[in-house]
Structures are given as structure tokens and as C-alpha cells.
Structure 1
């Protein structure tokens, strides 16, 4: 049975291996280039002494490229595997009617399904794991300088989480293929559901995986200017007295309150607007607000929780994959004829 599953899947594996070879060569070359560039900046840092500006320049040099690669590993690779490895795996046999022959042999349906799922699952682990490891290695100097490991595009494209995403996408495609019995329909649903999950997880699930640390951060003029440098603005979409881009060193800020006065009450909107109308520069408004003894309540996750979040999120997606596999096995055994 294993030999037959390999024979049926060999074209996908050959294409995957060829693509993986190209990706691996590129990422190794990129990682070497990043390290050589980083070493060059370190030499300049030692001679000129302006390390902060030089490291910022180093980060900007590779930022856009790595954002593109992060998006590829976070969205494109799992989606492609789910679409072309997962969705057609059973749906094509159901669509073509070849399942009637396969299911009338000495091998039970459940074993037939388990072996096919094992082959595609192991291939998915190998491909996604190697790509994730290479991209993590290649980008590590830039990530260390940036210090933003919880950024959605960075967190979801590093270490073990991308592997969990890929396995989930593939098994999701397999199970949808069993349910809808049409390859194209299963591919479309796989893409739709996977994209929705990838949008919901970092915004609605990840911030609540662990209880955040909270503190009250004084909003001095310097802190407000720092926030403005990250987000270019004051006030929210609902025109509230807020500062965008509040940061905590070595941490991921998950939420923060509106500007509050020393007695804990929200800053009066008229007073906020009065500061915004002071002068024509952002710094003028920042200094006006800084003189009011304001603060914000901040909830954040320290960077040293990074691996805890990686393991928790990976466990969630592996558990969802196992549950989907169980649904697929039950559906084939009970309801598919």
C-alpha cells in the first residue's frame, strides 16, 4: 500500500523536490549575503561608532525582501501545498470514480486513507520544515537587529509555526475534497478557509494565548513623538484621544488604552483637540500633551515568551489537523460510497 501511495504521489514529490532545491539554493545564498553585509556594517560600527544608525540602515536594506519572503512562507507555501497536494488527494479519485476499484481490494478504506495521508503529511513536514529552517537561518541577523519577533509576518514565517500551518492546509484540503468530492471546489474552499484562518489567528487568537503583562506608561512628549514615529499620528479612527504606535522595549504591545489623566480618567476630547491645533508640527502637539501628565495602560507580551507562543500556536494547528484527519477517516468509513 505504501508503494502504491508513493507511485500515485511521485509526480507531486518530484516537482516539490525540484522546487525545494531551487528555494534552498536561493535562501542559502541570501543568508550568506546577509551575513557578509552584517559583518561589513559591524566593521563600520567599530570605526565610526554610530552603531544604532548603521544597524537601522542594515535592517532597511533587507526589510522589503524579507517581508516578501515572509509572506511567501506564511501564506503562499502552505496554500500551494493545500491546493495541489491536499485537495486533489482523495477528491480526484472520487471525481474520477477510481475509488471503487481501490476500495474493493483487501486493504480497508481506513488504512488506504491513513497511508495516503501519511505519505502527503511526511512530504509536507519535510518541505515546509526545510524552507522554514532556511529562512529562519537566513533572516536571523536582520531579525536580531529589528527585535520584532512577534510581528505577524515574522512570527508566522519562523521556526515551527509555518510547519504547523502547512500540515493544517494540506489536511484541510484532503478533508474538503472528501466532503465536496470535486477537486476545483475543494481547492477553492481550501484557499478561502486558509486565508480566513491566517487573518483571524494573529489578530484575534494569538494575543490571548497567554495572559499579557500590564503597566502604566507615562506619555511624555518623548514617548508621544516615539509613537508618532512608528505610526505617524495621533487619534484613532473614531477620533479618540489616543496615541498610535505605543511601544515597550523588547515586547509585543497587544493593546493600550486611550490617553488618561493622572486620576485615571480619559483625556477630555476638547483638550486633546486643542493640543492637536497647537502649531503646525507633530512635535508641537506632542509637547502640549506631554505637559498634561498623561499615561496609557499597556498590555504586552515580552519577547522572552516567543517560544512559548510558537509551541502553543503550533500545538493548536497540529491538533486541528489531527481533528480534521479524524473527520476524514470517519467520513470515508461511514458516508462515502
Structure 2
């Protein structure tokens, strides 16, 4: 592991070579030297992250090109397995063939963006500070007139910039691919767990949160392996919790269907709840007559006149994504402030 500072031949640190304390060897200032050191310490992870993003972007571009050619050749744009669009009649076999060929690659691309924040949490955020504190190498820098807050800022600034750039680039390329491959034809919709977590600002926000959780956990626990476990657990809890409240971040729309009307939403609508509505306009759950012996009689007893479906239309996708990302980024900011307060309290 690269240590926090390199000593000269006489045992003196960089500050000894520069009595003014303003520059490091090689012409780098104290803060600049720390950033340079962080880059060297984590160059392996940065390189792997860059390679993964590049491979993912190339894969998305190839998948988009091939899928677009298939859709154009078979006239599948906007068609699904069971479609109400007249021009999609007779395309079921072609849709099946498309899904057999492209669903798996699409899922792999989605999984990469879903897992990226977790990998950042484990292999960058958790060891970033915990490894320094566990080995005690941070003490050398803190004795060379580098304040603890400047040290923490230098340790986190470059990783945050790399994570922001990499995840934004990959998310943008994935969204570009999704315009062709996503939704009806592939059957992978924007509201699915993989789809929502892969599109727009969501993976970027979670990646920055992963870094913040790892840094704060490292400051508090000071043990690398323990920090990795706690960071992983915290990321899973946050992702699951926000996934549970996601449908309620924005008011749903309710569509009512008459008794003899087919109750069916567009394929890209996210169904959140459904049931029956009465003459008075009241909504009843769809289980209201589930155990009744006379099902139709039960419905008449409750004055049911039709069905309703609460849903998020596709136009709600980006508002939901930005609301959830805003919550995640606000949590990231709070954790970052707490991390600096912990650092100041412990090291002055």
C-alpha cells in the first residue's frame, strides 16, 4: 500500500525541504501534493472504473445499433407482446425474437449501473479513510502543517470528481441506448428495479452517496474490513428503503373504467394500485369481495359501478428520478458535513 507521505533520505518530510511550507517536491503545493498522492494511492481503482465505464459505454453503443436495426427491419417500434396498436398485429413472433436476442445484454447493462454504487462503496469509499486511520499513515501528513480538514478535503475531492464523471458518462450512454431498446419491445420498463436505478441521475446520486457513507464510516470505525461491511449494509438499506417509498414520491393518476370497458393501461404505465369505484366515487380495494360466496352480489351490495387503476404514467419518470436523486444527494451532503465535523472534533 502506498503510504501517505514519502520521507527524504535524511528522514525529513516534504515540509523540511520547503521551510515556507507552501510547496512540495516536484513543484506541487501542499494541497496539490495531497491530491496527487490520492491519485497514486487509488490509481488501480480509478483505472478499473475507467475501464468498466469504457467497456459499458461501448457495449451500450453496440447494443443500441444492433437493436435499432432489428426494430427497423421488423417494424417493431412501440410494439409489445400484447399490443392494442393496429400496426403491431402479427409482430408477436418478432417481439419474442427480439427479447430472446437482446433482453440478456440489456439486463447486464442495467445490473452494471445498479451495482456500480455498491462497488464504489466497497472498494473506494470504505478504504479511503479507514485504511489511513487503521495504519496510522495519516499522522505524518497532519504533523506537516496540513490541517485535518484540508487533508480530508483532499482525500475526498478527487475520488468524488472521478465518481461523478464516470457515472454521469455511463448513465448518459445508457439513457441514449434506452431510447431504442427500453420499454415496450424489450419488456424492460422504466419503473422496474433495474430500469429505474440505471437511468438518468439516479446511479450518479447513489454513487456519490456510496462515497460519503464510506468516508464517514471509516472515520468512525477506523477499521477497513469493518467499514466495508457497514458501508455495504448501509447502501443496501438506503436503496431498499427508497425503493419502497418510490411510488409515493409523486401523486399517482387514477383512471376509471366503466363496467364493460376493458381495464388496461398503456404498457409503459406503472400500476401502483387498483380496485373498484362506487356510485358516490369512493374507491374500494380489489380484495373487498375476495372471500364472498356471491361475488357479483357482493359488488352490487357495495354499489360498485366500475374499476379504477392508480398509476404513474411515463411522464412521471423523470420527476420521480430527480426527486429520489435529490433526496439521495441531500443525504450525501448531510453525511459529508457530519464527516468534517467528526474530523474537526477528533483532530482539532
**Normalising by the residue count of structure 2, what TM-score does the alignment of the two structures yield?**
0.75
Superimposed CA distance per residue, residues 254-287 of structure 1 (whole angstroms, 9 cap, x where no aligned partner): 2223x4565656653454x5569xxxxxxxxxxx
| 1:212 corresponds to 2:252 | yes
When residues 268 and 307 of structure 1 are mapped into structure 2, their CA distance, relative to the original with a 3 A threshold, is closer
> Alignment partner for residue 121 of structure 1, among 153, 160, 164?
160
Distance 1:43 1:309, change over 3 A: closer
Per-residue deviation at 1:295?
2.8
Q: CA deviation at 1:155?
A: 1.5
Q: Please, which of 284, 289, 314 is the counterpart of residue 325 of structure 2?
A: 314
Match of 1:244 in 2: none
Q: Which residue of 2 aligns with 1:232?
A: none
Cα 1:248–1:175, aligned 2, differ >3 Å: closer, same or farther? same
CA distance in 1, matches of 2:98, 2:344: 53
Shift in CA distance, 305/49, structure 1 to aligned 2, threshold 3 Å: closer
**Does 2:175 align with 1:136?**
yes
Q: Does 1:29 align with 2:38?
A: no
Of residues 86, 103, 113, the one that matches 1:73 is 113
From 202, 205, 210, the counterpart of 1:169: 210
Structure ranking higher in helix proportion: 1
2:15 aligned partner: none
Deviation of residue 100 (structure 1)? 1.1
- 2:310 alignment partner, SS class: strand
C-alpha distance in structure 1 between counterparts of 2:259 and 2:189, whole Å: 22
Does residue 150 (structure 1) correspond to residue 161 (structure 2)? The answer is no
* CA distance in 2 between partners of 1:149 and 1:55 (Å): 22
DSSP-derived class of the 1:295 partner? strand
Superposed CA offset, 1:70-104 (max 9, x none): 13311x11100111010000000000011111211
Q: In structure 1, how many angstroms separate the alpha carbons of the residues matched to 2:220 and 2:152? A: 14
Distance in 2, Cα, partners of 1:304 & 1:55 = 28
CA contact (8 A) 1:252 1:300 kept: yes
Equivalent residue number for residue 273 of structure 2: 255
Compute the TM-score of the two structures, normalised by the length of structure 1: 0.77
Would the aligned equivalents of 1:143 and 1:149 in 2 still touch at CA under 8 Å? Answer: yes
Counterparts of 2:200 and 2:341, CA distance in 1:
32
1:322 to partner: Cα distance? 1.1
Determine if contact 1:91/1:174 at 8 Å carries over to the other structure: yes
| Correspondence 1:87 to 2:126 | yes
2-structure distance, mates of 1:186, 1:219: 57
* Cα 1:70/1:220, change in 2 over 3 Å: farther
- Distance in 1 (CA, whole Å) between partners of 2:147 and 2:129 is 15
Cα distance, 1:10 vs structure 2: 2.0
Alignment length (residue pairs): 296
- TM-align CA RMSD: 3.1
- In 2, Cα distance between equivalents of 1:128 and 1:120: 12
Q: 1:253 to 1:114 in 2, by over 3 A?
A: same
> Which structure would you say has the larger Rg?
2
Unaligned 5+ segments in structure 2 are: 1-33, 80-86
1:125 Cα deviation from its structure 2 partner: 1.0
